[in-house]
């Protein structure tokens, strides 16, 4: 049987891209580590950015807005609503935007609930700055839409490692490199090209916690993502959007340092892996077709490049609300407020503060509904998960999707905690302890997403 042509899954439509700088003001509250000795950053390692990519059908219609931000994590419902509304004021409809945070652990706090902290007086103005920048970047991206092509290729990068390490001294898992377990090394690269074949933007979708710079670091930083972008954008001359995939138990082997050079080395590792995939891709719109054998010194199989005659050009988008029960006995707001008020330990206080903010967002209910977005863009699936999922999530979803590549973005449009499998709860992991969700929410989310993927693909 004659081999089928080879091509990259694609979507033909309209695209617009824009970027803004969202670096915070000097002195803003930026304490993201319980072990940190300082509350505010003293310098800027690399700029933080927001990059918007508009995706639209050729005939027009309601656009999609994929927006990547160099920010850590959502701490309350207020900023989720505020920043989401900023995008919708530009004409983007609910369910058709993804605000995907890179999850850097060296970024500013942008939650008004932390305003009483040192440097917290700058949070309100910074949040309003984020709101304005989101409006501007979305509006500009909408204004620049032009015909083009999105194609996705899949490869690998070895930066990520498993970070669920059995504690040698206690019956628990601690957060750091476990050399005995493998890590998902899948790297997806999206390439957006205009009609002339010029690169308009790239997408790097990889699962790895940006936790290289830790409590000894005193700089605002996108962590490894900054150097990754520099490598890619220097070569392609086009903006790169980073989407943090399901990295619940994944991080670099060498992390928790104060030296930004270590983060930059990791970023270059990932950036060059992206470029390796980028340059292995066929020219925009091409496919390889088998023509037959040619007799030479050996019998040669001839594959020739040619333009694909038909590339899908339709978009479908749907929301998937999933109700998560909370852990039995998860403390009430009043209980957490009492614990926090009487706490004198700086590290424990940081943990309690985070749990307190989550409880405020969750309210008094014993369950919460999280909304996931599923977009089918031609032959490509884009899926957002608001929380931090373990990598098993993306691996199983890819198996379900088959030939359709999945660009998966976590910590997107909001976050309350980790989605980790049953075995994580049994092993007393940090992820299971931090999460307000009861055991089984990971499996419920996976099953629900798999059902929706089967409908889309």
- Helix axes 123-143 and 77-88, enclosed angle (nearest 10): 30
Instruction: Give dist(CA 265, CA 319) in Å, integer.
Output: 38
Residue-level pLDDT at 317? 97
Pick the closest to residue 378 from 447, 299, 290, 315 (CA basis). Answer: 315
Task: List, in sequence order, every residue forming a beta bridge with 49; answer none if it has no partner.
Answer: 21
Residue-level pLDDT at 352? 74
> CB–CB of 117/31 below 8 Å?
yes
From the first residue on, what is the mean pLDDT of each consecutive set of 10 residues in the chain (457 residues)?
96 98 96 92 96 97 97 94 98 98 98 93 97 98 98 98 96 97 98 98 98 97 98 98 98 98 98 98 98 97 97 97 91 79 77 75 87 98 98 98 97 94 94 93 98 88
CB atoms within 10 A of CB 14: 19
Residue-level pLDDT at 381? 98
User: What is the DSSP secondary structure assignment for residue 25, as one 8-state letter?
Assistant: P
Residue-level pLDDT at 396? 98
Residue-level pLDDT at 330? 82
Q: Token pair for residue 252?
A: 């670099």
Instruction: Give dist(CA 407, CA 356) in Å, integer.
Output: 32
> Could you tell me the CA-to-CA distances from 267 to 21, 65, 157, 375 in Å, in that order?
19, 25, 11, 28
SS3 assignment, position 371: strand
Residue-level pLDDT at 363? 80
> CB–CB of 232/274 below 8 Å?
yes
């Amino acid at each position: 049987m004659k081999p089928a042509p080879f091509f990259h899954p694609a979507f033909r439509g309209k695209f617009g891209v824009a970027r803004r700088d969202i670096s915070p003001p000097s002195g803003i509250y930026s304490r993201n580590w319980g072990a940190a000795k300082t509350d505010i950053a003293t310098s800027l390692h690399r700029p933080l950015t927001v990059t918007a990519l508009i995706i639209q059908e050729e005939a027009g219609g309601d656009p999609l807005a994929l927006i990547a931000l160099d920010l850590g994590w959502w701490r309350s419902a207020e900023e989720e609503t505020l920043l989401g509304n900023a995008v919708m004021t530009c004409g983007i409809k609910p369910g058709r935007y993804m605000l995907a945070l890179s999850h850097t652990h060296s970024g500013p706090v942008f939650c008004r609930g932390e305003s009483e902290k040192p440097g917290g007086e700058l949070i309100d103005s910074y949040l309003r700055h984020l709101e304005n920048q989101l409006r501007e970047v979305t509006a500009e991206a909408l204004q620049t839409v032009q015909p083009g092509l999105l194609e996705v290729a899949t490869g690998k990068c070895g930066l990520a490692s498993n970070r669920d390490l059995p504690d040698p001294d206690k019956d628990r898992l601690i957060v750091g490199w476990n050399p005995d377990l493998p890590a998902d090394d899948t790297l997806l690269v999206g390439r957006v090209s205009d009609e002339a074949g010029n690169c308009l933007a790239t997408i790097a979708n990889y699962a790895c916690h940006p936790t290289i710079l830790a409590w000894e670091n005193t700089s605002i930083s996108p962590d490894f993502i900054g150097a990754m972008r520099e490598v890619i954008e220097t070569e392609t001359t086009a903006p790169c959007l980073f989407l943090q995939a399901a990295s619940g138990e994944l991080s670099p082997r060498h992390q928790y340092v104060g030296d930004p050079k270590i983060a930059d080395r990791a970023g270059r590792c990932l950036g060059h892996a992206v470029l390796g995939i980028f340059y292995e891709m066929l020219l925009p719109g091409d496919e390889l077709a088998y023509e037959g054998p040619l007799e030479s010194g050996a019998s040669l199989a001839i594959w020739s490049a040619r333009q694909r005659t038909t590339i899908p050009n339709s978009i479908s988008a749907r929301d998937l609300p999933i109700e998560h029960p909370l852990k039995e006995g998860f403390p009430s707001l009043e209980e957490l407020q009492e614990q926090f008020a009487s706490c004198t330990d700086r590290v424990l206080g940081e943990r309690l503060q985070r749990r307190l903010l989550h409880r405020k967002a969750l309210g008094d209910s014993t369950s919460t509904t999280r909304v996931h977005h599923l977009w089918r863009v031609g032959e490509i699936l884009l899926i957002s998960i608001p929380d931090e999922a373990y990598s098993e999530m993306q691996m199983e979803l890819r198996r379900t999707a088959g030939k359709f590549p999945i660009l998966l973005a976590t910590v997107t449009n909001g976050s309350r905690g980790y989605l980790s499998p049953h075995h994580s709860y049994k092993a007393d992991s940090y992820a299971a302890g931090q999460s307000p969700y009861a055991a089984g929410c990971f499996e419920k989310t996976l099953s629900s997403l798999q059902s929706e993927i089967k409908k889309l693909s």
